[in-house]
Amino acid sequence: MEIRKKLSRSLLIVFITHVIVLSGFAQNMAERYEEKIDNTIQSMTLKEKAGQMTQITLDVILKKDGDSLIEPHQIDEEKLRKAVVDYGVGSILNCGGHAYPREKWLKIVSTIQNMAIKETRLNIPVIYGIDAIHGMNYTTGATLFPQQLGQAATWDPKLVKQAASITAYETRASSIHWNFSPVLGLGRTPLWPRFWETFGEDVHLANVLGEAMVKGYEGESISGKEKVASCMKHYAGYSMPLSGKDRTPAWLPERMFREYFLPPFQKAANAGSLTAMINSAEINGIPAHTSEFLLTDILRNEMNFKGFVVSDWEDVKYLHDRHKVAATHKEAVKMAIDAGLDMSMVPNDFSFSKYLIELVKEGKIREERLDKSVRRILRVKYALGLFDTPVTYPEDYPKFGSEEFRKASQKTAEESITLLKNKHDVLPLPENANVLITGPAANSMVPLNGGWTYTWQGLETDKYATDKKTILESLRNKLGKEHVTYAKGATFDSVLSLEEVKKKASMADYVVLCLGETAYTEKPGDINDLALSQAQTDLAKTAGQSGKPVILVLTEGRPRLIREIEELTDAVLMAYLPGNEGGPAIANIITGKVNPSGELPFTYPRYSNDLITYDHKHTERIDATNGENAYNPQYPFGYGLSYTSFEYSDLKINKDAFKEKDEIKLSVKVKNTGKREGKETVQLYISDHYASVTPSVKRLRAFEKIALKPKEEKTVTFTLKPSDMAFVGRNNKWITEEGMFTAKIGGLEKEFEITK
């Protein structure tokens, strides 16, 4: 409360120049912002403008002993004064290497804001940013959801929006107001170590879920104390490196770039996303941070994006250090500003500000160019209500870490988990089943959460999530401790004791085999092969040779190959990275309390070098014998089984031919023909018979997830426009061509024509 009082007193200074009447008319709010921003910019010095465009990491202002941060972390007031008062930095990000309690966040952020308000000439609050990508994962006790790829597997925008809304609430409860999320790149290169941060390989799925996530973060009014600014990242093409390695070159023809990689960003911008973070890598030899084509021509002029653009970590410096397009760091700053950068995540020093001031004084950058960026930054700060409420307080957020939020996380995890195989209906397990659970993912929270969890790489999650249940603990809760034995068998990379696994498997009725990946993100997650480690493969073979039914549970951020061991299993569950409630969710699926309804948001490959997506071209179907069996994944995009069965019938279309402004209405009946309630995602695919650019075999154009009781039947209707069949043509412009198309839903097909 003392912090609240001190900050409230200091706000009196701000009210003199920055009073905002929140009860006024909404339509005049933007004008009031602009007038205040105009006045502020006119009174700003060059140094103050450069400062607003500078972002540093928290480490810069924390006390150190040599090169190491002092624990517990404490702000060094002289360092803070240098950053906020002397350099006038506009933004700070990150944590000091690990998560904090909310009270610690309050102390950190309020100390920063108090100095920004009391000791600077213009009293402009700092905007604080964090990577809260699956919940407020840098605050202890927060609700952690499945990572984004798992959320995509729910195929449910309502759940994605709810997760984002809860994340926004708990981020504001931590006194932070800017979230570096969502990732809007397409996951079309499974080697990429940030694959699990995407919504999967399909552009339409990413469009729908990305829009839902932005609306969850920002809501109807971003100034509300329960919402945060979202950040579209990483604009654009970052997710498609040719090598599969993080921050390495992408080679993307403009036509493909526009058709596949830009639409999710356009959709998010239309939804009101306030900020964008730039692709750390390069496209066709041009680093994104130097591309006026990307940052100005497309983002500003074509997409009409109004927010501000921030670099990723040290990426302006990397134009000199790594990309080798700038001869000096100073030249790198000029290139980025000329391209359209608004804020530099420097983040460890003030060099960006220093060089920017020099460039303006030398006449190499016009000061009016800085005004544009500062205006964009101030707009976001005003929109967030930071001039009125620079800090929020934990006691104002009673639902933080609540049972309500925990249940929402578990439900999302349950609806993400995807049943890929269920031979002879081995699942769900009977109540009295005796089970051996084995594998490196069986008794740890680390592989349930992945990276960006309490720490950057997520490797210390077991230390923080002590109140959460692993898969082993959750199964023991469901089946009874006496019915569940445990033998780890192997780590992710080395064998421990296969003999123990053999012995305990001989005394069990079933083996639950928990394999996958440990936590990682970015460059530390680079791999050379999608194959599971030899240790995990050996463990799987040992389990398979036991003669007992094997249930394989995969907790992984990308599809690791299981071709060699899949035939040894009786059931396969893809759990992705299901978050802190992943253990109970998996146990509920295995024991049948919950009927699985997740479906793959990507194509699960069978071979390391056969990474063909579902929307492949017709030539990619042809094999060496000129047959059509080349597309042969382990499991296809959109695939997922249930403990019940569904039947599709009576596919109808309202007409046979459609003109430009017509509505295309398709309906289909879906019936639950099994004995238990279940959910089914009805997926509409369209195939273009012939086009001036080679068409895909099929493209997802609409989907809807429905719940059906046993024997219940529902009619699902989709409404499209001819423009929904548009593609980017040879001239790099969107075009809808005349011709024949086939609609495909649940094994049923219906042809239609688009005419002039």
Query: Which positions are annotated as active-site residues?
Result: 312
| 3 state SS of 632 | coil
CA atoms within 13 A of residue 346's CA, in its CB half-sphere: 29
Phi, psi of 516 (to 5 degrees): 145, -130
Q: How long is the chain?
A: 756
Output the CA–CA distances (angstroms, integers) from residue 202 to 209, 405, 460, 600, 698, in the order listed. 11, 29, 32, 11, 11
Q: Tell me if 492 sits within 8 A of 523, measured CB to CB.
A: no
- Helix boundaries (H) for 153-226: 157-172, 203-218
What sections of 28-101 are H helices per DSSP?
A: 29-43, 46-52, 77-81
Q: Token pair of 110, please?
A: 């309020």
Which DSSP helix (H) or strand (E) runs through 659? Answer: none
| SS3 at position 554 | strand
Cβ within 8 Å of residue 747, ≥6 positions away? 648
| DSSP structure string for 327-365 | SSHHHHHHHHHHHT--BEE--SSSHHHHHHHHHHHTTSS
Backbone angles phi, psi at 11, to 5 degrees: -65, -20
- Are 514 and 539 in contact by the 8 Å Cβ rule? The answer is no
The two three-digit tokens of residue 113, written as one number? 């804001």
CA distances from 442 to 445, 492, 566, 610 (A): 9, 11, 18, 30
CA distance 326 to 131: 29
DSSP track, 107-141: HHHHHHHHHHHHSSSS-PPPEEEE--BTB-TTBTT
* Residue that the structure tokens 């049943």 belong to: 419
- 48, two tokens: 């103050």
Token pair 């104390």: residue: 225
Nearby residues of 552 by Cβ (< 8 Å), 6 or more positions away: 421, 513, 515, 540, 562, 565, 566, 569, 571, 572, 573
What's the CA gap between 211 and 361, in Å, rounded? 42
* Measured distance CA(201)–CA(639) in Å, rounded: 13
| Side chain identity, residue 503 | K
Give the residue among 387, 381, 164 at the shortest CA–CA distance from 271. Answer: 164
Q: CA-CA distances (angstroms) from residue 653 to 229, 590, 701, 720, 723?
A: 41, 39, 15, 11, 17
Q: Which two tokens stand for residue 522?
A: 């970015």
Identify the burial level of 29 via C-beta atoms within 10 angstroms of its C-beta, where 0-12 means exposed, 13-18 middle and 19 or more buried: middle
In the chain, the amino acid numbered 182 is P
Place of tokens 């077991």: 462
From the CA atom positions of the chain, what is the Rg in Å? 27
